[in-house]
Copies of this chain bind each other. A is one copy, B any other.
């Protein structure tokens, strides 16, 4: 087992990574303080892993609630189901909420934990690659609003994150690929050597080689933890983790949640952000091409939906959380492994990227 610490002063916690962690009752119980536990999962994940988890929690007073599976259920209505379940079972401030599932379960259960009785403790057990390397780490919780993704949320750090890499073996190939979008992102924005290592190991990673996937999850968690520990509330450098997300969120909003997976939208968003970085003279054509190629190698889309016009995309990006009074804010690359926040991008260059000029979508 590997452990990555997320250093946040009094909110410091450990991210445990290993195969078979779900069976480690002693470890799982070590961060639960009260007698009552409320497990939130979804129908798909629960069928595979809930029994194992409940066995590890035996002796505690556990209630489970299963959500429907899908990004379209990451809503205020689902949140209300969680509140009702907590109240019906008389959960109080000493309760620990456990999220067993992917990003939707973790973000929704986490926001419920942040707001139930003004905050209860919370444990993340992410079962998708995307949740393991990204959404379960760092305390961002949220639900979607029909007008925008993650618009309603809170920062609420978990007591611990338990990553059982065995759970990736049950993940559909499309969801596995979507998780690698965030892995690629970590290399692109923070570590050129890691990016090169990913280029060399695409096939083995997609085949879930135990050692290689364990390293990728750990290295991605390290990169994310290092950034979050410097800027928990995203007042500065944490924004770098949004590389690809300004374009990506616009794509998700346009398609309606659930048609493109989040990782797929971020993948295309990174291709577009790299393209814009190149047009601004920040990175070379060669770096932009390597990013596009690696994304494609992981079976991820490199081109936005054909029916999404430049004007629509700009309109959608204006309501993004990263927008401010000065306009749309982008995270761009200065070099491979080095990101920066850029305001006031020249509109003609942005239009070139949005209109896919000069072969953005070709490989």
Q: Are B118 and A325 in contact (CB-based, < 8 A)?
A: no
Q: Are A147 and B324 in contact (CB-based, < 8 A)?
A: no
Q: How far is the CB of A311 from chain B (nearest CB, A)?
A: 16
Chain A window 308-325, contacts with chain B (Cβ cutoff 8 Å), 1 for yes, 0 for no = 000000000011010111
Q: How far is the CB of A232 from chain B (nearest CB, A)?
A: 11
Q: Does A65 lie at the interface of the complex (its beta carbon under 8 Å from any beta carbon of B)?
A: no
Q: Which of B111, B118, B148 contacts A153 (CB 8 A)?
A: B118
- Given that A80-B76, A92-B323, A93-B321 are contacting pairs, would A87 and B117 also be in contact in the complex, using a CB cutoff of 8 Å? no
- Given that A92-B324, A94-B324 are contacting pairs, would A154 and B154 also be in contact in the complex, using a CB cutoff of 8 Å? yes
A80 to B142, CA, bound (A): 14
A145 — which chain B residues lie within 8 A by C-beta?
A: 80, 83-84, 87
Question: How many A residues are at the interface, by size bracket?
Answer: 35 or more
Q: Does A155 lie at the interface of the complex (its beta carbon under 8 Å from any beta carbon of B)?
A: yes
Q: Are A118 and B92 in contact (CB-based, < 8 A)?
A: no
A35 to B318, CA, bound (A): 16
A153 — which chain B residues lie within 8 A by C-beta?
A: 115, 117-118
Task: Give the residue name and chain of the B residue nearest to A89 (CB).
Answer: B319
| Copies of this chain in its oligomeric complex | 2
A157 to B140, CA, bound (A): 19
A34 — which chain B residues lie within 8 A by C-beta?
A: 325
Q: Does A207 lie at the interface of the complex (its beta carbon under 8 Å from any beta carbon of B)?
A: no
A234 to B93, CA, bound (A): 11
A87 — which chain B residues lie within 8 A by C-beta?
A: 145, 147-148, 151, 319
A148 — which chain B residues lie within 8 A by C-beta?
A: 87
